Structure 1
Amino acid sequence: MASSILNRCLASSLRPSLGLSASGYRHQQPAKRVEEVEFDGPCMKTEVPGPRSKILAQQLEGIQSVVQVNFFCDYEESKGNYLVDVDGNRMLDVYTQIASIPIGYNHPSLTKVMTDPKNMGTFVNRPALGMMPPEQFSEKLVNGLMAVAPKGFSRVQTMACGSCSNENAYKAIFIWYRNKMRGSPEPTPEEVRTSVINQVPGCPDLTLLSHGRTLGCLATTHTKAIQKLDVPSFDWPIAPFPQLRYPLDQFERENAQEEARCLEEAEDLIVKWNQKGRHVAGVVIEPIQAEGGDNHASFDFYRKLRGITKKWMRCRRGGSTGKFWAHEHWGLDDPADIVSFSKKMLTGGYYQKDSFQPDMPFRIFNTWLGDHTKNLLLTEVIKVIKTENLLDQAKRSGKVMLEGLYDLQDKYSHMLSRARGIGTFCAIDVKDEDTRNNLLLLKARNKGVVLGGCGTQTIRFRPALVFREHHAHLFLDIFNDTIAELK
């Protein structure tokens, strides 16, 4: 094994990288731009995890759980779309730290921000942003998060991660809903008294129609039992997400019926829960389900769902779909009241309408309220995205990815199905969970491609925005070779 891997590595370093398409022909890698510094391709020296990774895992095991650790990384040696591990294996990363590396590893623009002496104080001192923000805080928000705010949103609340972003967005929804119900932001003395002892009316029995892993978010995510097992949760309504056939444009009639069924059930749930006094304060929707298996519905489904929320109340990715926000594909002037974010945005938080602004201090609060260093980096990321036109790049690379996945599922129909995606936000189903986890993902990794799974049998693809067409062809080559060996 080690000998054949080493030969592959040496060959890659001695000649231009070639790519074999799913249909069997090879693509010459285009010449790189002068400013683009990246490896030519994967370079595998050992199986993954290699000897050094295994030693480090043994050391870490004495301190914390390592059952979910894949391998240890050498981030200083990683570049662009390539992740290097501590054993010197260089892999094309199509998973990017669970979709959280926006413009690749060690991008020169971000390195420049980190090494600029005038930014030293920002990285050394972490302020409690909600109480004592730094002088440049507003400026960085204006040039960063607000520069890419979804249409119609003039306010943003920063947070540290996706889970606390959603958790606090839920709080904002409940606060808004209660103010609306009582007709005033001023609570009654009885509401104040009962809130601290977890009783009504101070802690009202409100619900959300349903992502994240803190308590409130656990109640609105319904996959991966291991994340919910033994943890108390809320009894909140669960609406079905349409189980569709892909590509959507080839199964419009069947999919329209399924979407109509799910919309009807969602509205029925709102009515039933309202009638029993457990009012639905908001509807939580992912434009593309991630952990749930990378499913997406038609844009018309989301438009109609928004209509339902407007009837009964008034009630989230960072460029991978070819638009900065996935909901922009829906074509709505008013698609949501709150939009949460994290991952490729480097920081967490949510955009909100003016009416969701907290009415009193400390209603939405924690010590950090995000990390100002991430706002600094995000400003540069946004500049790179615009300068290099990376949203259009995601559309082009995604087209190559999806067409290649269609070819592969036709070629290996016994193994693959339901290829789908928008931009590079793509996915494909494997015949069963065991084949995906214990064969396909591991074999692909040992051939030099890092992939990730979601749902029960899905492989999801989450490359950086600097992922270009030749990277997509290279991935398809290796993926094709991996599947061929499983026949």
Structure 2
Amino acid sequence: MQPARSRIFGSTRELGSLKRFLSSQELMARDKKYGSKHFEPLPVVLVKGEGVCLWDVDGKRYLDFLAGFSTVNQGHCHPRLVKVMRDQAGMLTHISRAFYSEQHGELGEYLTNLLGWEKFLPMNTGVEACDTAVKVARRWGYKVKKLPNEQATVVFAKGNFWGRSIAALSASTDPKCFTDFGPYVPRFDRVPYNDLKALEQKFKEDPTVCAFMVEPIQGEAGVVVPSDGYLKGVRDLCTKYNVLWIADEVQTGLCRTGKRLAVDYENQRPDILILGKALSGGLYPVSGILTDEKIISCLEAGTHGSTFGGNPLGIRIALEAVKVLEEENLAENARKLGEVLRQELQKLPKDIVTEFRGRGLLSGLVINKDFAEGWDICLKLKEAGLLTRPAHGQILRISPPLTITEEQLREGLNIITTVLMSYK
């Protein structure tokens, strides 16, 4: 009979009156048997999170250097977020937008005052918020720019990633996303990322363009940071050609890069800003767009909606999540520790790490594939007590919760350095 384990870390199955714990291998086997194989998880079964740390079913502690793909910026199970979630769950969780709630307007007021737009439209997931931005931009194209019916074109940067809905994969240039899922959404076009000449050429040759959607830093593409001046150039070109600039900050927004928003590095203001992920600190799916009255007014009653979007539970959590980021000064922590991260990782041998990318605590290490595959490195990191995943095979993501301390960061950097140097 297996020895007793703390119930904090366990999973059980009932066999009459006898309770036995499932092993991690049994749990993973069950998942594979009954789940869909559309994603390949790292082989670890997690049951507890607190701050920057995670624990598996065996009670082993890990440093989380992925943060749910930059979602738990506030750290796992932040006590303030847990409290408001419990309090709100016992009061009112869902009424749909058929009625008013106290929370909806409160979050809108807070975000618009904090970030400098006039209106906030809440949704649930990042891909829904991106889809909403595209819908609003097309509506604006017909109602304000007066484009011919069914001709509004949206341009995207190549290498973009904003989800896996039909619209998102229609904008993608990654064959893994779009192959065998057509037909695709029409009048989506693409230009190279970080290329202002190509963008202007597209605007010149196609007067039906209503919007350009771009990530200020491309996350899933491998933490690709554009040249200085690119965002200002995007703003200038969009203004010149009467095109809406949509900034997808689902991953880069809310302090991750060392500022509230990645566009703040060039002090630029997009026409539509998309937020998600850290907007709720990982406790509940909340996303949305920020824009101005002249743009959002193109939507009339009945033209957009979501059953769960703007529900009291999600909105209350989101409000507290953003307040935590502000009151705990997590943008500054990301900026300060991001410099430590850069300085230390740039010391690694160039024959192992060919490039460091990133801003703040959104970073990527490009690994020389002649030494090791990214997946194999992540498996070794797991064994050493650190969790992350590769992007595009050879780019090691480094995006811990923003609550991380310098001591915890250096502990993680030591693990990364030790594992990488073991390949020498």
TM-score range (shorter-chain normalised) is 0.7 to 0.9
> 1:353: which partner in 2?
292
Q: Summarize the Cα distance change of 1:471–1:385 in structure 2 as closer, same or farther, 3 Å threshold.
A: same
Task: Determine the C-alpha separation between the residues in 1 that align with 2:405 and 2:164.
Answer: 33
| TM-score, length of structure 1 as denominator length | 0.74
* CA contact 2:254–2:279 (8 Å) conserved in 1: yes
Equivalent residue runs for 1:174-185 within 5 Å:
174-182=138-146
Correspondent of 1:113 among 76, 79, 84: 84
Map 1:434-453; keep pairs closer than 5 Å: 435-453=372-390
Per-residue Cα deviation, 1:59-90 (whole angstroms, up to 9, x for no partner): 12232224523245444x32110011122221
The offset of 1:460, in angstroms, is: 1.8
Match of 1:375 in 2: 315
User: Which one of the candidate residues 380, 391, 396 is aligned to 1:459?
Assistant: 396
Within-5 A mapping of 1:92-103: 92-103=63-74
Q: Distance in 2 between matches of 1:65 and 1:139?
A: 39
2:206 corresponding residue in structure 1: 273
Q: 1:137 aligns with which of 86, 97, 104?
A: 104
| Structure 2 partner of 1:289 | 218
Aligned residue for 2:276?
342
Name stretches of at least 5 consecutive residues in structure 1 with no aligned partner: 1-50, 184-199, 243-261
Whole-Å separation in 2 of the counterparts to 1:359 and 1:480:
52
User: What is the percentage of aligned positions where both structures have the same residue?
Assistant: 21
Q: Structure 1 residues 68 and 483, CA, compared in 2 at 3 Å: closer, same or farther?
A: same
Equivalent AA in structure 1 for residue 341 of structure 2: M
Q: Equivalents in 2 of 1:368, 1:92: separation in Å?
A: 33
The Cα shift of 1:330 comes to: 0.8
For residue 111 of structure 1, report the CA deviation from its aligned partner: 2.4
Q: How far did 1:456 drift?
A: 4.5
Structure 1: distance between partners of 2:154 and 2:359: 31
Q: What secondary structure does 2:63 align onto?
A: strand
Alpha-carbon separation, structure 1, partners of 2:113 and 2:382: 37
Residue 151 of structure 2 is matched in structure 1 by 204
Match of 2:134 in 1: 170
Mean Cα displacement is larger for which, 166-175 or 208-217? 208-217
Task: Flag the 1:326–1:231 CA change in 2: closer, same or farther, 3 A.
Answer: same
Quote the offset at 1:404 in angstroms: 1.0
Q: What secondary structure is seen at the aligned counterpart in 2 of 1:349?
A: strand
Instruction: Work out the CA distance in 2 between the residues paired with 1:450 and 1:433.
Output: 23
Structure 1 residue 65 corresponds to structure 2 residue 36: yes
**1:484 CA displacement:** 1.5
Aligned-residue offset at 1:370: 4.3
Measure, in 1, the Cα distance between the counterparts of 2:329 and 2:307.
Answer: 36
Does 1:222 find its partner at 2:164?
A: no
AA of the residue aligned to 2:295: F
Residue 26 (structure 1) aligns with: none
Contact 1:339 1:352 in 2 (8 A): yes
- Alpha-carbon contact 1:56-1:72 (below 8 Å) kept: no
Distance across 2 between alignment mates of 1:461 and 1:227: 23
Amino acid at match of 2:303: R
1:424 to 345, 358, 361: 361
CA drift of 1:434 comes to 9.2
- 1:477 aligns with 414
Pair 1:299–1:354, CA change in 2 (3 A): farther
8 Å Cα contact 1:318-1:324 kept in structure 2: yes
- CA distance in 2 between counterparts of 1:309 and 1:227 reads 28
Once residues 370 and 261 of structure 2 are traced to their aligned partners in structure 1, the CA distance between those partners, rounded to angstroms, is 30
Pick aligned residue for 2:190 from 203, 215, 238: 238
Residue pair 2:70, 2:256 contacting (<8 A) in 1 also: no
Question: Which residue matches 1:401?
Answer: 341
Counterpart of 1:168 in 2: which secondary structure?
A: helix
Taking a change above 3 Å as real, the CA distance of residues 457 and 367 of structure 1, as seen in their structure-2 partners, is: same
- 2:96 corresponding residue in structure 1: 128
* 1:326 is the counterpart of 2:293: no
Alignment of 1:305-316 (within 5 A): 305-315=234-244, 316=249
Indicate the RMSD between aligned Cα atoms, in angstroms: 2.3
Structure number having the greater helix percentage:
1
Aligned pair in 2 of structure 1 residues 89, 336: CA closer, same or farther (>3 Å)? same
Asked if the contact 1:160/1:371 (under 8 Å) is kept, the reply is: no
Q: Unpaired runs of 5+ in structure 2?
A: 1-21, 281-285
CA pair 385-136 structure 1, distance change in 2 beyond 3 A: closer
SS at match of 1:324: coil
Q: CA deviation at 1:337?
A: 0.4
Deviations along 1:77-131, one digit per CA (max 9) or x if unpaired, are 3211001112222100010111111211122222222333x65123xx32213x2
Residue type of the alignment partner of 1:127? I
- The alpha-carbon deviation at position 57 of structure 1 amounts to 1.9
The amino acid across from 1:285 in the alignment is V
Deviations 1:210-253 (A, max 9, x none): 33221222233323x222121122453221124xxxxxxxxxxx
1:146 aligns with 2:112: yes
TM-score by length of 2: 0.84
Structure 1 contact 165–349 (Cα < 8 Å) conserved: yes
Letter in 2 for 1:95: L
Q: Which has the higher strand share?
A: 2
Paired residue secondary structure (1:62): helix
1:33 corresponds to which residue? none
Distance 1:291 1:167, change over 3 A: same
CA shift at 1:205, angstroms?
5.2
Q: How far, CA to CA, are the matches of 1:206 and 1:73 in structure 2?
A: 44
Cα distance change on mapping 1:229 and 1:87 into 2, 3 Å: farther
Q: Kindly provide the amino acid, as one letter, of the partner of residue 242 in structure 2.
A: M
Query: What letter corresponds to residue 391 of structure 1 in structure 2?
Result: A
8 A Cα contact 1:73 1:83, kept in partner = no
